[in-house]
Structure 1
Amino acid sequence: MKSLILAGGRSRRMGRDKAGIERPDGIRQLDHLIALARSVTEDVVLSTNDPQLAPDGIPTLPDLHPGSGPLAALEAFHAAHPTEPVLLLGCDLFLLDAETVRHLIAGRDPSATATCFTNRIDGRPEPLCAIFEPGSLEHVADVVARQKLCARHFLEALDPAVLELPNPVALDNANTPADLDEAFAKLRHGASSKPVKILYFAKLREARGLDEESVETLACTAGGLYEELRFRHRLPLELDALRCAKNGDFCDWSTLIEPDDEIVFIPPVAGG
């Protein structure tokens, strides 16, 4: 089995290359993922159209259809290695740890089309830390050609073997600066469940169908809490369209939240 690390994204929402971000321990994100991949597979390949991004000794594999996302990376891999299973890892998984990767390898079912974990919030299969068997990739080129580019939909259609995630936040991804603040807060402070009270106003109240609720969250920051809720309930507003208050005082999105805090998400005033 080989590992394929996705490092070819444009990182528009993050505003900088995620592969080159320095983690709180001083290690570059790409080097962290390479070390994890090397701990469970002998060969590591970098999915990128920029060969200069790869450290010495790491081969690169360009997409056959650039700009088509993770499925294009799998398409290129299968074209180059048609009989090889592959461990696919996304570059935005700043909380991915050795325990999680080892658990995936140990739980692999070679008779299945793929082996994966589920997302902790919506329970759907997660493609960016998953093992794809060669037979599962025989039609990926057709899928890419038809522009059906959602990696999660592709994985779901395979009916994969699903494992329980040992570290519940290991697959929380980071696509924006606020997501990165949340990931780094978890790395620095840990992730433990805590009760918080949420107040909703205006458009958020309409979308959620209630004024307030008490929730248990693994989020560390106000921004992480909102993104957790937005993903779970499909809330309509992006984080940058809101203001936030903690216990009656306005705060920024990187503010740490504590057990029993009251958090308010404040949409823009209609017509304002």
Structure 2
Amino acid sequence: MLRGLVLAGGRSERMRTDKGALRYHGAADQRQHTAALLGEFCADVRVSVRPDQADELPAGLVPLPDTFAGLGPLGGLLSAFRADPNAAWLVLACDLPLLTRTTLEFLVNNRQPGRFATALQSPWNDFPEPLVTIWEPRAYGELLRFLSLGYSCPRKALINSDTAVLAPPVPDELRNVNTPEERAEVETVLRGN
């Protein structure tokens, strides 16, 4: 089973406001927009949040509070696997306002379930993008092993495992928006579309 996970538990310190609550696409905030994208490919979609954020989600979203606290995106991913260790998790960060169905469809259609994960290569370096990735069930134990060795970076886990890394069909869709300046640039791009 392929489940969807929106990573929305960050503190958004550089943005100075909750990135998940930003609205780039009409009335839907980024948590809702990203969950809707995932819903086209996954029967069950959860939103990874810190426990104190669970009650703040808009109606219709299903929270998955972190049970691995203080680990950033890895904590959200491990919490998802703890909730269902037999599922593969299609994970998306909530700060990707340019991401479309095109990229997700490409990722899902090229999934390699026999591998640790199927990830898209970052357009800005040679590394896999861990926050637009399908993590297979066998990744759970390996992620716990990496954590026991002191590694809390999902990207390092992808680099050091049997990961299928694909060139993204539309590289600019992987642009993270973390600051007010980046937000203004992306809003300009979206208005032009």
TM-score, normalised on structure 1?
Answer: 0.66
1:62 aligns with 2:65: yes
Shift of 1:146: 4.5
Residue matched to 1:44: 45
Q: Secondary structure at the match of 1:170?
A: helix
What's the C-alpha RMSD, in Å, of the aligned pairs? 1.6
1:4 is aligned with what amino acid? L
User: Which structure 2 residue ranges, 5 or more long, are not aligned?
Assistant: none
Structure 1 unaligned regions, length at least 5? 191-272
Shift of 1:123: 2.3
Instruction: Quote the sequence identity (%).
Output: 35
Partner of 2:29: 28
Residue identity in the other structure for 1:63: D
Matches within 5 A, 1:227-246: none
CA distance 1:144–1:53, shift in 2 (3 Å): farther
Range moving further from structure 2, 157-166 or 51-60: 51-60
Paired amino acid for 1:107: N
1:68 and 1:144 in contact (8 A); partners too = no
Match of 2:79 in 1: 76
Task: Tell me the residue number matched to 1:86.
Answer: 89
Deviation per CA, 1:149-188: give whole Å up to 9, x if none: 2221121112311222111201110111111112222222
The aligned amino acid for 1:15 is: R
Alignment of 1:2 with 2:3, yes or no, is yes
Check conservation: 1:18, 1:29, Cα contact below 8 A: yes
Correspondence 1:136 to 2:155:
no
> What is the CA–CA distance in structure 1 between the aligned matches of 2:146 and 2:64, rounded to whole Å?
19
Deviation digits for residues 103-128 of structure 1, max 9, x if unmatched?
11111011111001101121210000
Q: List 4+ stretches of structure 1 deviating above 4 A.
A: none
1:186-233 per-residue CA deviation (whole Å, 9 max, x = no partner) reads: 22225xxxxxxxxxxxxxxxxxxxxxxxxxxxxxxxxxxxxxxxxxxx
Distance in structure 1 (CA, Å) of the matches to 2:180 and 2:166: 30
For residues 29 and 71 of structure 2, the distance between their equivalents in structure 1, rounded to whole angstroms, comes to 25
Q: Label 1:152 to 1:100 Cα distance change in 2 as closer, same or farther (>3 A).
A: same
- Secondary structure in structure 2 of the residue aligned to 1:58: coil
5 Å matches for 1:116-135? 116-135=119-138
Taking structure 2 as the reference length, the TM-score comes to 0.91
User: 1 CA distance for matches of 2:73 and 2:11?
Assistant: 12
